A and B are shown apart, each in its own frame.
Chain A
Amino acid sequence: MAGPGRQERAADLLPTEPVEAPMVTPELAAGRGGSSAAAFHCPQGPAGRAPGCRSVSVAFPGPVTQQGCCHFACELLKHVLYQRHQLPLPYEQLAYFCRRALPRQPQDGDAIKKKPHPPDLGSSRKCQQLLMELEGVFRHLEAMFNLTLVPRVLILLGGNAMSPKELYEINLEGISVGNAEESLQTPSCVRKLFHSLFLADVFSELQAVPVMGTIVMVQGHRDCGIDWFRPKLNYKVPARGRKLTVNLSCGGNSSTNPSTQQGVTSAWDNYIWFQAPVTVKGFHE
């Protein structure tokens, strides 16, 4: 049985690496809401160009898998939701409590040992609903990544898709997609990604926000055949609101760069925005 943190899971996946992964949430959790005074300044990351507009670039030392890209997007979504106060606990913990709360049968021993942290939190209807919606989003994102090359993913908080309050853009255009053998291990890439985010300290200066709706947009090929996401032919990435861009790229000799894979750049015309048909509504304790 996995513990609430990601620490154990990451360790399971990568037994050779020590468990001092900097991306794990407990540390970041302490810094949430700007309470930590630790003045982290991104040493190599670029500073914000305009107020409310920042970017973090992460270069992986080799190709990654398409599933890996999907994983980055999902992990970022979870992270953003927690950091921006839409989830009372990190996603994994919430899901854990929720799963534990669902089957009402007492699991002798195991259940008692766990601290009875939020007895009603995981079982609340709002929480169940939210987790169900999020699971749906993750599942369909996975399907989407299997069907088409995804150059960009947007996480939009508040307002509507055209004018969100906060915008998180994951730019995957620089990624070179490889097959499972030649690609980097996904967990180590996730770790690198979160390490960069942590160093860039992008969340600590933000003010607390009320509960909002979260919209997920994915760019994909026009003819990819996904039916869960709704095509938004007129959509344009909005300029309003606070924006964080996460640029992911692959260094090294890339073989299957998205742009070369598509041949000509005009092929990008066929990449349109799709919107998840659910608005994930956050909740507070």
Chain B
Amino acid sequence: MDEAAGDLKQALPNVCDSVQLHVEVHQKSNSTSKKEDIRLSVLKLLNRHNIVFGDYTWTEFDDGFLNNNVQSVSIVDTELKLKERQPINLSKCNLSIHIFHLNDEGPSTENLEEENENIVAANHWVLPTVEFHGLWESLVYDTEVKSHLLDYVMTTLLFSDKNVDSNLISWNRVVLLHGPPGTGKTSLCKALAQKLTIRLSYRYRYGQLIEINSHSLFSKWFSESGKLVTKMFQKIQELIDDKDALVFVLIDEVESLTAARSAFRAGTEPSDAIRVVNAVLTQIDQIKRYPNVVILTTSNITEKIDTAFVDRADIKQYIGPPSAAAVFRIYFSCLEELMKRQIIYPRQQLLTLRELEMIGYVENNVSRLSLVLKEIARKSEGLSGRVLRKLPFLAHALYIQCPNVTMAVFLQALSLVVDKQFEERKKLADCF
């Protein structure tokens, strides 16, 4: 038995011994230096700093070459792999360095030219793009949603690379994120696409993200809708044909597409709509054969989605409203930003939840503000991420209105605005 375990361990190398650490290097947009040169300089930099605690970002360098060519060097996503915040010895780690340039053009649009109409059927980004920079870090989840998703796609690519027979083991490259509105499903899809493009830059030159407007696939002409879907996917197919591109297809609020079949049975949906659903399903089956495509879908109401679609999704991840701990982290990042921009002034050191736990939640001069924040986070539970991210803004707008304030005053305002949120919610609920 032990022997077998030993064999197994050999077959799965470096699981425990060394940690895979990802270093993202954001190359300046005007830098023309070779990746190899930058890699060498970054390695030198990392050699000088042996031990880091968790994620860390350098934006200023002693090295003139790095200063000229690199915006930032970040050690990222350590919390996804390491449960505890612990010192990381860089020299022992398996470092993978990802160097990327951001595209600064906005999305382009794909039209399905139907006669003279120009319906924007899809938005189309070349990744990595400036727009999604920092989005991944801004998303806070309790469960290991982010690492699951990353690992899922990595496995997908591994299986494709090793030519696993998809008739024997099938995987669909379809991810379905569902949950209440405002929990960051769409943002997570976009951030995931960006992240993967950066992570896989050694294999794919660039990423393409196509966000399909599902409603635009329904034609005003009876019987034409199915054709529109086919046309849409033909365009996607063209993108997939470029083997250097990693293609992400994002279908937001997929229930609007797939709810149709059950409604059809109930007799409330015209037969044309069902053609759309069927066309989408067959098209997804078509493109899932290609190794360089990932289909990301989101939905607010899972019950309404066609089972034929749900079955096709490999990962069905529920994304709920953030817990108190996640709320704390969201507020924490908001306050950090406000201190950086000197709206909250002077700068105050806040303690993280883990640091609070270590001192046993004892109230003293250092921990007082953090404990207030923890209390606010506790009572904010139940609010969605979208609401939470705008509360600091509302707090300032409603209760502060001056260019800079102290942390204590700001936290008071934040607390008031949270109460107000719940009041408003109650009023809305009473209306119905």
**B265 close to A (CB within 8 Å):** no
Bound Cα distance A160, B122 (Å):
13
1/0 per residue B191-223: CB within 8 Å of A? 000000000010001101000000000000000
Range class of the B interface residue count: 20 to 34
1/0 per residue A157-169: CB within 8 Å of B? 0011111000000
Is B239 a contact partner of A232 (Cβ separation < 8 A)?
no
Chain B residues 157 to 195 lying within 8 A of chain A, measured CB to CB, are none
Is A231 a contact partner of B242 (Cβ separation < 8 A)?
no
Is B30 a contact partner of A227 (Cβ separation < 8 A)?
yes
Inter-chain contacts of B34 with A (CB < 8 A): 222
Bound Cα distance A227, B32 (Å):
10
1/0 per residue B88-113: CB within 8 Å of A? 00000000000001001100101101
A163-B242, A231-B30, A238-B242 as given contacts; A279 in contact with B105, CB under 8 Å: yes
Distance from A224 Cβ to chain B, minimum over Cβ atoms (Å) = 8
**A114 close to B (CB within 8 Å):** no
Inter-chain contacts of A178 with B (CB < 8 A): none
Inter-chain contacts of B206 with A (CB < 8 A): 162, 234
Is A162 a contact partner of B30 (Cβ separation < 8 A)?
no
Is B242 a contact partner of A239 (Cβ separation < 8 A)?
yes
Chain B residues 26 to 43 lying within 8 A of chain A, measured CB to CB, are 27, 29-35
Distance from A167 Cβ to chain B, minimum over Cβ atoms (Å) = 13
Bound Cα distance A145, B268 (Å):
64
Bound Cα distance A222, B36 (Å):
14
Chain A's interface: helix, strand, loop or mixed, by majority? loop
Inter-chain contacts of B35 with A (CB < 8 A): 233
Is A162 a contact partner of B242 (Cβ separation < 8 A)?
yes
Is A160 a contact partner of B126 (Cβ separation < 8 A)?
yes
Chain B residues 385 to 420 lying within 8 A of chain A, measured CB to CB, are none
- Total interface residues in chain A, CB < 8 Å: 23
1/0 per residue A78-114: CB within 8 Å of B? 0000000000000000000000000000000000000
**B316 close to A (CB within 8 Å):** no
**B25 close to A (CB within 8 Å):** no
Distance from B207 Cβ to chain A, minimum over Cβ atoms (Å) = 10
Of chain A, the residue at the smallest CB distance from B30 is: A227
**B365 close to A (CB within 8 Å):** no
**B244 close to A (CB within 8 Å):** yes
Distance from A196 Cβ to chain B, minimum over Cβ atoms (Å) = 30
Which listed residue, A161, A210, A227, A230, touches B126 by the CB 8 Å rule?
A161
Among A162, A232, A236, residue most surrounded by chain B Cβ atoms (within 10 Å):
A162
A234-B101, A240-B238 as given contacts; A223 in contact with B32, CB under 8 Å: yes
**A216 close to B (CB within 8 Å):** no
Is A160 a contact partner of B32 (Cβ separation < 8 A)?
no
**A190 close to B (CB within 8 Å):** no
Is B242 a contact partner of A230 (Cβ separation < 8 A)?
no
**B118 close to A (CB within 8 Å):** yes
Which listed residue, B104, B205, B239, touches A163 by the CB 8 Å rule?
B239
Which listed residue, A160, A210, A222, A238, touches B105 by the CB 8 Å rule?
A160
Is A163 a contact partner of B32 (Cβ separation < 8 A)?
no
Inter-chain contacts of B70 with A (CB < 8 A): none
Which listed residue, A213, A231, A238, A239, touches B32 by the CB 8 Å rule?
A231
**B241 close to A (CB within 8 Å):** yes
Given contacts A162-B245, A236-B244, list 17 more A-B pairs with CB under 8 A: A159-B124, A162-B126, A162-B242, A163-B238, A210-B118, A213-B108, A222-B32, A222-B33, A230-B29, A230-B30, A231-B29, A232-B101, A233-B32, A234-B205, A234-B206, A240-B238, A240-B242
Chain A positions within 8 Å of B, measured between CB atoms, are 159-163, 210, 213, 222-223, 227, 230-236, 238-240, 272, 277, 279
Instruction: Show 17 A/B contacts (Cβ-Cβ < 8 Å), sorted by A.
Output: A159-B124, A162-B206, A162-B245, A210-B111, A210-B118, A213-B108, A230-B30, A231-B29, A234-B201, A234-B205, A235-B205, A236-B205, A236-B244, A238-B242, A240-B242, A277-B104, A279-B105
Chain B positions within 8 Å of A, measured between CB atoms, are 27, 29-35, 101, 104-105, 108, 110-111, 113, 118, 124, 126, 201, 205-206, 208, 238-239, 241-242, 244-245
